[in-house]
Amino acid sequence: MKRRSIIGAALLVAGFAAFPYAQQASGQTDAGWITLFDGKNLDNFNQVGNANWRIEDGLAVADKGNGFLVTKNTYTDYQIRAEFWVDGEANSGIFIRCTDPDKIGSATAYEVNIWDARPDPSYGTGAIVNVGKVDPMPRAAGKWNVYEITAKGSTFTVTLNGQKTVDGAQDAKFATGKVALQHGLGLKDDKGVEKDGGTVKFRKVEIKPL
C-alpha cells in the first residue's frame, strides 16, 4: 500500500510538472505575430492619398476619399490576420507586396479584395485581383470579418471567416513590399463620377513573418 502511495504521488507530481508545459505550448500559437494595428494609434502606417482615415472607438475608420494606410516596414513572406467591417457600398482591400507605396494598385501590388458590389464578382470580396478568382463570391458587408492571408514565395492563400477563398494561387510578379489597407472609390453615378466607397473599419491587424 505504501509503495502504491509513493507511485501515485510521483505520477501526480509528474502531472503537475507537465501542466505548465502544456499551457505554454498551447499559448505558443500566437508566437511570432506582430501587431500592426491594435486600436490605439496608426504609428505603424503612413497615409497615402486623400481618404479620411482616423481612429474612432478603437477602430481605424474611413468613409470618404481614395487612399491607403501603408506600413512603414517592408515584408516578404508572411501571414496576415485582419478584422474588418464594411458596408454594402464599400470598396476596400488589403494590398500586399506593394512595390511603390506612392502608387498602389494592381500594377504594383497584389490586391486581396473587399468589395461586395464589384461589377465583376469573380475578383470581388475574397479574391486576389487578376491572380485568384472566387466563385461564388462571399459577402462581407454589415458584419465583422476575419481575413487570413498567406504569401510565401509565389504562392498565395486567402481565408475569409474560416472559408478558403483562394487556395495556392501562383504568381511571381512581386516578391516583397509594404502592406496597405484601402478605402477606395465606389461605383460611378449617373454622370460617370465615382462615388465615395462606403465605410471601412479595421479593428485588429497582425502580421507574422515566415
- At residue 30, the pLDDT reads 73
For residues 37 and 21, state if they share a domain: no
The set of residues, in sequence order, having a beta carbon less than 8 Å from that of 111 and lying 6+ positions away, is 93, 94, 95, 105, 128, 129, 182
For residues 10 and 39, state if they share a domain: no
Whether 196 and 172 have beta carbons less than 8 Å apart is answered as no
Domain tally, the chain = 2
For residues 18 and 38, state if they share a domain: no
CA distance 86 to 75: 26
Peptide bond into 136 cis (omega under 30): yes
Domain that includes residue 59, residue range: 32-209
- Looking at the predicted structure, is the pLDDT value of residue 105 above 60? yes
- Give the pTM: 0.83
For residues 114 and 21, state if they share a domain: no
For residues 69 and 3, state if they share a domain: no
Band of pLDDT at residue 178, cut at 50, 70 and 90: very high
For residues 43 and 104, state if they share a domain: yes
Band of pLDDT at residue 184, cut at 50, 70 and 90: very high
Running DSSP on this structure, what letter comes out for residue 87? -
Band of pLDDT at residue 24, cut at 50, 70 and 90: very low
For residues 27 and 38, state if they share a domain: no
For residues 21 and 87, state if they share a domain: no
For residues 25 and 49, state if they share a domain: no
For residues 26 and 75, state if they share a domain: no
Residue 128 forms beta bridges with which residues?
Answer: 112, 132
For residues 13 and 105, state if they share a domain: no
For residues 3 and 14, state if they share a domain: yes
CATH code of the domain containing 188 = 2.60.120.560
